[in-house]
Amino acid sequence: MSATEDRYLVVVNHEEQYSIWFADRTIPAGWRPVGEAGTKQECLAHIESVWTDLTPLSVRRSLAEPAAKAASR
């Protein structure tokens, strides 16, 4: 990595949606780092490997509720 190349962090929000953020800036409210850092391409590659379901967490939970209720009957 060259000295002029920006460093990024992989961040995630409460809906388990991923993004990248400049490593030298304060992370916005509602987001938290996941422990991965590197070049933009490295961070995007990590996100691609772990974020396999783009459905927000709240939607996944609401879709799972009817199935869980049916299974408990």
Alpha-carbon distance of 12 to 72, in angstroms, equals: 32
Q: What is the architecture of the domain spanning 8-63?
A: Alpha-Beta Complex (3.90)
Token digits of residue 34? 């996941």
pLDDT tens for each residue of the chain, 73 residues long? 555 689 999 999 999 999 999 999 999 999 999 999 999 999 999 999 999 999 999 999 998 887 777 777 6
Residue with tokens 């800036």: 25
Sheet holding 31-38, edge to edge: 18-22, 8-13, 31-38
24 residue type, one letter? D
User: Where in the chain are the domains?
Assistant: 8-63
pTM of full prediction above 0.75:
yes
